[in-house]
Chains A and B, each alone.
Chain A
Amino acid sequence: MRTSTPARVGQYTALLAYLVFLAFPFLWLVSTAFKPPRELGSLHPTWVPKDPTLANFRQAFDEQPLLHAALNSLLAALAAAVVAVLIATPMAYVVARRRTRLAKAVTGWVVVSQAFPFVLLIIPLFLVLKNLRLINSVPGLVLVYVVWALPFALWMLAGYVRAVPPELEEAAAVDGAGRVRTLVSVTAPLLAPGIVATALFAFITAWNEFFFALVLLKTPEKQTLPVVLTHFIGAEGVADLGPLAAAAFLATLPSLVVFALIQRRITGGMLTGAVKS
């Protein structure tokens, strides 16, 4: 069925509006990062700074250990993404392929667990980590991030597993491949976009996370980027806007770069034509 021209124009207009809506905060952040203080206080702000400056970046780096914090964030986020995917992939396979009551119960529990506010969990979690001597350590933070990302990663990957036709695995079995060989050679490559997307989700969640990092990390050399960013904010929400924008802009770059590098892997269509329907 072909889409009529007016409908298509409408679709593209809606898409463009959505893109503008998504891009506006980031573009505004970039603009703010290069503005001198006097332009920040203008009633008629401009997209392009009249007098662009790098002073905000200099001040941000002078005042806070941004690079060190970024490294901590990167370490925590990468570790969390890798571990979450390693654990979630086999779990998701079982949940998706075995249509048992237990699998359904697990899926239900995963959805319910997402409703827990983390403020409810933070004190027990803190005590558990303290007993494990994992307070004020990046591994402790990674453990929390993995636990936090796991339910959603499991739920997300299970959907990808269900999208892989079981007939492909059956065909591999007919050809003499064992279960492990089938999983490694047939299912895993087809799951790659899902795995990448899930890893990206876990990475960005961990990269942006603030509250757990604030509570669990005590010493400055362990703090992550979101925690360090709040050092530009004072009581009652007053902020040193220029350096904050500069630091926040830098903080968004890794996520963008990671996404740009792997977004091709996420695109669908890899299964197209795999099965003759």
Chain B
Amino acid sequence: MRTRLLALVVLLLLAGCSSGGTRDDGRITLRFQSLAWQEESVAANEQLVKEWNATHPDVRVEYVQGSWDSVHDQLLTAFEGGEAPDIIHDASDDLADFAYGGYLADLGGLLPARLKSDIPQRSWETTTFGDGVYGVPFLQEPRVLIANATWLRKSGVRIPTPEKPWSWAEFRRITERLSGPGRYGVAWPLKEPVSATLNLSLSAGGQLFHRGPDGKVTVRFQAGDQVVPRTVHDQANTDRSASPTTLGSGGSDTLPGFFAGRYAMVPLGFSYRQQIVQQAPKGFDWQVLPAPAGAGGRTQGVSPQTLSIAEDCPHKKEAAEFLDFFLRPPNMVSLALGDWMLPTGTEALKDPALHRTKDGWATGTALAGHLRPAPAQSVRGYPEWKDKVATPALQEYYSGAIGIAELRRRLEEDGNLVLARYQR
């Protein structure tokens, strides 16, 4: 038995030795881990990699399909083990730890001027940590109202446009007007209440996180921060114009009720249109409306998808050249169309395909200029604040279990205690 076991271990080791390895033919190979998952998006990614490989025989890019599920843990392990992909697809709100941890390359001196100037400064801010830029933001999505067009038309309410959206007060009045027995003007899918609330609150002038002259961040739940939470709370608990059952649901969970005519509107990410196109019953007439606006105008917080280069990558220059190729305006357009999102690049945003009225593309594109970094983007300790303080507090507030004063106390007092630990 012992001999057999020993033989088995030796076999395993030998088998391991035969796996992996690097090329020794002088060609550079870059591993690109993409998180694209929708059919059109994967096809667009693979096509671009194929084009690159056809025109760059000395720098081969190897496409590796990654997964959004557990991507942070997977990347962290790969970084720690020195086995990270050379080119990394992620989201800007996941980059802070990797950037501060020294795992990602500062792209400041690597990217060409064309790419730097094509993407607006407000988008670069989402991937800027300290003095460095650690990712190229390339796809983003605003939160929009997906509406039952027939219902809205019959009700006679004013249909908002990107130029003239509803105010938060008007939105509340309209949802009340659209509601009736068993029917709701809106269904808020707030399984993840924090990012939705914070990002939409920018439109009402909310900021929540305030950085002092000493660089330390504190939470202050002021009037502008209260507009969106109050609206949702009052719709669900006072007006009965928001479905109370969807407050704990994800976006996809609200679609059956939406298609069945239970809800007039559902606030969702722009990319959910793909699911609506796929699943909507034949003849179901839907449209995309801009999210309500307030004192902050049509501003919204976003965490764009990003492409980064690993600090350990031995061929950063070539990897940056690939990024430049990959994110050329026409390529950015095909990536955006594949993912049903908006490109960050100003040239790509001009593409006619993104200005069609079909499937609400034009409405989303009109909002692109108003997208800003999510408020929590650079706050150290935000994940813990979100999980331990903000999520339960907002869930209780939206369900009517606590009032605005208690919500404020928790976000500020409990929240600042959490943040303080990260800023000593």
Contacts and interface: CB of A to CB of B under 8 A. Distances in A.
Contacts, number: 144
A162 interface: no
Interface in A214-239: 214-215, 218-220, 222, 227, 230-239
A42 interface: yes
A136 B64 CA distance: 13
B330 interface: no
Nearest to A232: B37
A41 interface: yes
B68 A239 contact: no
Interface stretch (B69-77, B200-208, B229-237): B69-77
Interface string B271-288: 110010011111000000
Given A220-B64, A235-B91, A59 B252 contact: no
B77 A215 contact: yes
A236 B37 CA distance: 12
B68 A37 contact: no
A210 B78 CA distance: 16
Given A236-B251, A236-B269, A42 B259 contact: yes
Interface string A128-154: 001011111111101100000000000
Nearest to A122: B77
A122 B19 contact: no
Interface stretch (B9-17, B168-176, B292-300, B411-419): B9-17
A232 B65 CA distance: 11
Contact of A127 (B13, B81, B280, B305): B81
Contacts of B252: 237-239, 241
Nearest to A239: B252
B255 interface: yes
A133 B70 CA distance: 24
Q: Which has the most chain A C-beta neighbours within 10 Å: B65, B81, B83, B279?
A: B81
Given A41-B255, A43-B257, A123-B81, A233 B17 contact: no
A83 B8 contact: yes
B423 interface: no
B25 interface: no
B256 interface: yes
B260 interface: yes
A201 interface: no
Interface in B7-38: 8, 11-13, 15-17, 19-20, 31, 35, 37-38
Question: 9 closest pairs, A vs B, by CB?
Answer: A41-B279, A43-B260, A134-B16, A137-B19, A230-B67, A43-B256, A139-B15, A126-B81, A37-B278
13 contacts: A37-B279, A59-B39, A86-B1, A137-B19, A139-B11, A139-B12, A214-B70, A218-B31, A218-B78, A230-B67, A230-B70, A237-B250, A238-B271
Interface of A: 37-38, 40-45, 59, 63, 83, 86-87, 90, 119, 122-123, 126-127, 130, 132-140, 142-143, 210-211, 214-215, 218-220, 222, 227, 230-241
Given A139-B15, A233-B69, A235-B305, 4 more contacts: A133-B13, A136-B19, A238-B275, A240-B38
